[in-house]
Amino acid sequence: MNKFYLLLILAIGCLSYTNAQVQVSGNVVSDTEGVPIPNVSVALKGSLNKGTTTDFDGNFVMKLNVENGVLIFSYLGYQTKEVSYSGNQTLKVILNEDENSLDEVVIVGYGSQKRSDVTGAISSVKSEDFNQGVVANAGQLLQGKVAGVNVSSASGEPGASQDVIIRGVGSLRSGTTPLYIVDGFALDNSGNGVATNPLNFINPQDIESIEVLKDASSAAIYGSRAANGVIVITTKKGKKGKTKINLTLSNGFSTLANKVDVFTADEFRTNVNAVNGTLVDGGANTDWQDELTRTAISKNINFSMSGGTENSSYAASLGVDDQEGILRNSNLKRYSGRLNLTQKAIDDKLNVTFNLTATKLDNTRPNSSSVVGNMLSLNPTDSPYVNGVLQGNLSNDVLNPFIAETIYGDYTNNNRILANISPSYEIIDGLTYKLNVGVDYSITERDIQYMPYATETNTTLGSVNTATTKNSNTLVENTLNYNLYTDSSSFTFLLGHSYQQTEVSQKQFYLEGFPDNGVEPRYQLETANQQTTQSAYATKNELQSFFGRVNYTYNDKYLVTATMRADGSSKFGANNRYGYFPSVALGWNISKESFLENSDQINNLKLRASWGQTGSQEIPSKITQASYTESNTENDTYPLDTAATDLSGYPYGSIFTRLANPDIQWEVSTQTNIGVDFGLFGNKLTGTVDYFYKVTDNILLEVAPTDPIVPVSSYWTNIPNMEIKNNGVEIALDYNNYINDNFSYNIGGNISITNNEVNNSPYQILTTGAAQGSGQTGATINGVLNGESIGAFYVQEFTGIGADGLNEFADTNNDGEILDDDRIVAGNALPDYIYAFYLNFNYKNFDLGLNFNGAGGHKIYNHVAMSSFNKGNLANSFNTTDRAVEFLNESATNSNLVSTRYLENGDFLRLNNATLGYNFDLAKLGLSESIKNLRVSVTGQNLFVITDYNGFDPEINTGSAIGGIQTFGIDYFSYPKSRTLLLSLNVEF
């Protein structure tokens, strides 16, 4: 019996020893500035399942069964460190920066990774590398910064909309817009009522970094919305022990960057007479491009504060941005506020992050197409004034544009709040649950009005078109993250569920006939005497998703990433409600192999390969459901009342406007990517090379039915076998060299070569761009043709002017007639390649940065020239360019037809921005105790463009969507771009 008790006591003692735990906690900071380092890997040496990562403030807590041991701290960009512990202990760990490391933290979908662990094609741009100058939105920060991403503004208007194309155009219906994620919240920018860029609500100075997820492996975690790529925006956060107060003041001055070479007054007189036209000579010498533009002044004030303690951090900012356009009545004002908070509790197991952005946008817009048309066509011998008094009408009974701009008004007011809160809790070591709840609410009021005005030949009754748009976007996400570490391996498991609901509604009315009493129509609605036109709509869409990801690393050399997302969208019918989007990627850190780990020349070499699928749900709402309307015309009614004598006495009948189609499927993009990352010669030369191949199928289109009995004019369907292919190569290089303490520099750039092609299209052409204007409306300019790039220009080949003074075109099919089937593909609107390069120099306290970007291999259709620059207009005393007199025998009655005559080379090279800055020596000024940094800088934007294009700018695109298919490469009286000089002062306390 005594032996039994002795054994029992020994067993209990052993069990107690086995279950005894010690707690090791601590903080990890950098050796340079002593700032906390988040996401540092902390692992117990020799253990199969003991590891964690530091939180946002560099803190960690581990409960261990081993009383004495060694912890391994590793983080890319820093040297791995082993630290011993004994019992319960609090450690202060300092990691030394690894000068030979290329690694950094990269934000990925639902988390972050070390750069060396990334297997997908992800490009990251930090705030210090953003484009400088007068910047209204995140897209302008990125232009030219990322290989494979083409950012081009639709016009030169402040905050203009942008075409953002990641690795080629992969869809017809959904355009090119990528999915934007802001601090973990997926935006929905459709239908918010703002005519300019919906991303203008984010203050660019609040952005810390932008990640572009380009391949399917990195983007597939976002499934059905990632076919056009994903852009992840992270705003600035506070840091422990580093209190900052920052004030930035800037003033910008913008002028017209480039003039179109129209005739001067003397040239105009000579050429009108030369073509035997009717010269109306007002005796003046007016440059209407000067008269109708201005020196625009932009002002920006941004104030921010940030800091933190052991358990909390904060970052707050207030910004005012007042940007004028170079056309009068063109302004964009943004009032923004941001608050980011973090808080820890319960022994650092509970972490709460809160993000809030609130913005008020006021946007005033001119009738830019009319203003630009006047700039280029008004008689240069006319003067807007006679004896100091504005003329009512100019020659040809054209309303004086100085009066016209006071009559027209376009006013938009947008208020938007984006807020999300993300509490997370570490349930057990390595296992963390996170909830992300957020809302994005926007309300927009827009008034477009004409003041009443009358002259002998021009009468405007006065009108107002008012629209109120509401957009509500709510998000609830739940994720579980589990980190598992062994001696040689690490696993990260992610499981998640997401539910997002968007609601968009609009109410609109139009009133006409206002008294000319000096009061704007929008302020006297009750006085309108014409019939009111009213309309309204509302849509609600839901997206429910389940997703997962596994990351595996072996010996920091061999990497595997696998993801799967299932999306269920209310936009699709019952038969195809869910779509499934898998991906897999492999990585090999070759430079960590024994045969390279001690190489002085090759410091980093990684091979990546990935495959995956992403989708597109960006289709109109309700298209899978049947829709009806009432009609009493033609065969839609029946004379139930025998006394009825005409259709007005017949009852209304219900007819289809849309047939139900529950079989509509997702568009799916399948992409393969092979990439290499490298760093050479002490990481002085770094770069990436990627090859991608992307195929989009299940193309969704609204088409005309082939069955004549179908009771609708069009219906939605997936086009069998039709594909859009994009394949290409991306190269990015950077070389940095530190000469001495006084001088250093880095140069670099990127180039992307992309081939876009449509295959197996059953249509001769799907028109994407058509002509506008008298006698031209609807004529095809470009479109989608089988075997060609999207935006292919499908036009007749102009060969000259015939003996009769009229156009001559090539008979390409040799049938003896010039008809539509003689049209040819004469080029395409999408560039074959885009490129950018930069040069940065630092000398003592001075720094200079130059950023260039360009594109080539594409065409632009000069619709302005086709509409205005012809002999007929010149003969009638409208101004033109020398295009009008190019052919001496051309008849003044010759029609302007869509042809290669107006197709021009779109290649260009632009000095996008140049910044010269100076950082004051605060010690010499005696300010080092109160001020941490004082900097002044001057920035020039759009300083020059080298191009053969004869319009204002080769990047402008004013084509509108046709049948929901986006247009590219057409210049039709675009708002011209400006050249800007910006002076800035930055003070950090």
Q: What is the DSSP string of 830-872?
A: S-SEEEEEEEEEEETTEEEEEEEEEEES-EEEEHHHHHHSSHH
Helices (H), 410-509: none
Residue 378 has pLDDT above 50, yes or no: yes
pLDDT for position 14: 40
Q: What mean pLDDT value characterizes the chain? A: 89
Secondary structure element (H or E) that encloses residue 686, with its range: strand 685-697
Q: Where does residue 249 fall: left (phi above 0), alpha (psi -120 to 50 degrees), or beta otherwise?
A: beta
How would you classify the pairing of strands 859-862 and 970-971? parallel
Tally of helices (H runs) and strands (E runs) in the chain:
10, 55
pLDDT for position 10: 41
The predicted model scores a pTM of: 0.87
CA distance 881 to 318: 48
Query: What is the SS3 assignment for 267?
Result: helix
Cβ atoms of residues 627 and 655 within 8 Å:
no
Banded pLDDT at 7 (limits 50, 70, 90): very low
CA distance 475 to 541: 12
Candidates 733, 557, 597, 490; CA nearest to 100 is 597
Q: What is the largest CA-CA distance in the chain?
A: 131
Banded pLDDT at 33 (limits 50, 70, 90): low
Angstrom CA distances, 47 to 65, 72, 421, 557, 665, stand at 10, 11, 35, 20, 48
Give φ, ψ of 46 to 5 degrees. Answer: 90, -5
Query: What is the SS3 assignment for 53?
Result: strand
Helix/strand/coil percent split, the chain, to 5:
10, 50, 35
**Percent of the residues in the chain that have a pLDDT greater than 70, as a whole number:** 94
Residue 215 has pLDDT above 60, yes or no: yes
| DSSP string across 943-978 | EEEEES--SS-TT------BTTBPP-SEESSPPPPE
Average pLDDT (98-126) is 78
Strand partners, 110: none
**Higher pLDDT pick, 83 / 639:** 83
Give φ, ψ of 822 to 5 degrees. Answer: -90, 0
Cβ atoms of residues 424 and 413 within 8 Å:
no
Tokens representing residue 675 in the block: 């990439």
> What is the tens place of the pLDDT at every residue in 645-658?
676 677 777 777 77
CA distance 804 to 439: 66
Residue 775 has pLDDT above 80, yes or no: no
CA distance 214 to 231: 9
> What is the tens place of the pLDDT at every residue in 965-976?
888 899 999 999
Provide the Cα torsion 82, 84, 90, 94; round to 10°.
Answer: -30
Residue 851 has pLDDT above 90, yes or no: yes
Residue 2 has pLDDT above 50, yes or no: no
**Higher pLDDT pick, 535 / 56:** 535
Residue 661 has pLDDT above 90, yes or no: no
> What is the tens place of the pLDDT at every residue in 923-958?
888 888 888 899 999 999 999 999 999 999 999 877
Residue 224 has pLDDT above 80, yes or no: yes
CA distance 173 to 162: 17
Angstrom CA distances, 114 to 24, 551, 553, stand at 24, 12, 11
CA distance 47 to 65: 10
**Percent of the residues in the chain that have a pLDDT greater than 90, as a whole number:** 62
Candidates 171, 130, 174, 121; CA nearest to 151 is 130
Average pLDDT (597-613) is 91
Cβ atoms of residues 465 and 195 within 8 Å:
no
CA distance 669 to 146: 21
Residue 101 has pLDDT above 80, yes or no: no
CA distance 483 to 481: 7
Tokens representing residue 720 in the block: 């069998």
Residue 82 has pLDDT above 60, yes or no: yes
- The number of beta carbons lying within 10 Å of the beta carbon of residue 643 is 6
Query: What is the SS3 assignment for 732?
Result: strand
